[in-house]
């Protein structure tokens, strides 16, 4: 079983739509959580960290449910520039050396 | 500031040839990671170093793959001999932190090397 599972999509939404991605992780000891974004033929880049209380960064809201081992990312008022693959990422408590576990990614296309 | 630098950006080679990928991490970063990304398998961690020491190489597919980090500013990933199934994008990433249970462990990725083995 993979450490991190994501719905691969693709999600195709019109501009202005709200879209949500989900992710589950297998290690209950996982400590830190992130969403990375990867544009086509580019490298992954950190989008935002995910905190236990949930957090928001502009149009992006991330939530964590430790009991269900579930992470979500909500994008409001989608823009064309949001088209990318979104990678769910976790670390584990035992990893003191910064190892990240990446999901396969969820592909999003925003159309005009 | 320069980010993670990788070379070459593209490599096309024939089966059986040796391939060497290079990475220069961001100055001051303690950890360095090599990943491979394919459509089928996504992003896979091959090996990572902390303070130039290999910590976990369990992701290295087989003995044909080897990685070194002779100093804090340079690492190589070598494939010898290469096979068509090695075709993928290879990313190098570095991180300023040595981990721990608090704070973010952001990894900064290089642009990748797109390898094609014919």
Q: What pLDDT score was predicted for residue B100?
A: 47
Cα–Cα distance, A78 to A98 (Å, whole number): 32
A49 pLDDT exceeds 50? yes
Cα–Cα distance, A30 to B73 (Å, whole number): 30
Note whether B38 contacts A: Cβ–Cβ < 8 A. no
Note whether B34 contacts A: Cβ–Cβ < 8 A. no
Mean pLDDT by 10 residues, chain B (118 residues): 92 97 95 93 91 91 93 96 96 77 71 97
Q: What pLDDT score was predicted for residue A99?
A: 77
Task: Sort out which chain A residues have CB atoms less than 8 A from B97's CB and list them.
Answer: 98
Chain-centroid distance of CA B109 in Å reads: 10
pLDDT digit string, tens, across residues B71-93: 999 999 999 999 999 999 999 99
């Amino acid at each position: 079983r993979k450490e991190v599972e994501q719905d691969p999509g693709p999600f195709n939404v019109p501009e202005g739509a709200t879209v949500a991605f989900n992710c589950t992780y297998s290690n209950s000891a996982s400590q830190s959580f992130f969403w990375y974004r990867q544009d086509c033929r580019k490298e992954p880049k950190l989008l935002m960290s995910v905190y236990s209380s949930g957090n928001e960064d502009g149009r992006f809201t991330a939530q964590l449910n430790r009991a269900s081992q579930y992470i979500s990312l909500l994008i409001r008022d989608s823009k064309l520039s949001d088209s990318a693959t979104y990678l769910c990422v976790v670390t584990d408590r035992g990893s003191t050396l910064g190892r990240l576990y990446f999901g396969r990614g969820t592909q999003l296309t925003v159309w005009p | 500031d320069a980010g993670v630098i990788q070379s070459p950006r593209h490599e096309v080679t024939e089966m059986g040839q040796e391939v060497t990928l290079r990475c220069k991490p961001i100055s001051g970063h303690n950890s360095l990671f090599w990943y491979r990304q394919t459509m089928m398998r996504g992003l896979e961690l091959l090996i990572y170093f902390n303070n130039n020491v290999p910590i976990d190489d369990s992701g290295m597919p087989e003995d044909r793959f080897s990685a070194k980090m002779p100093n804090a500013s340079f690492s190589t990933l070598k494939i010898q001999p290469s096979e068509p199934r090695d075709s993928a994008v290879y990313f190098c990433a570095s991180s300023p932190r040595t981990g721990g249970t608090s704070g973010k462990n952001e990894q900064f990725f290089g642009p990748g090397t797109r390898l094609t083995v014919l």
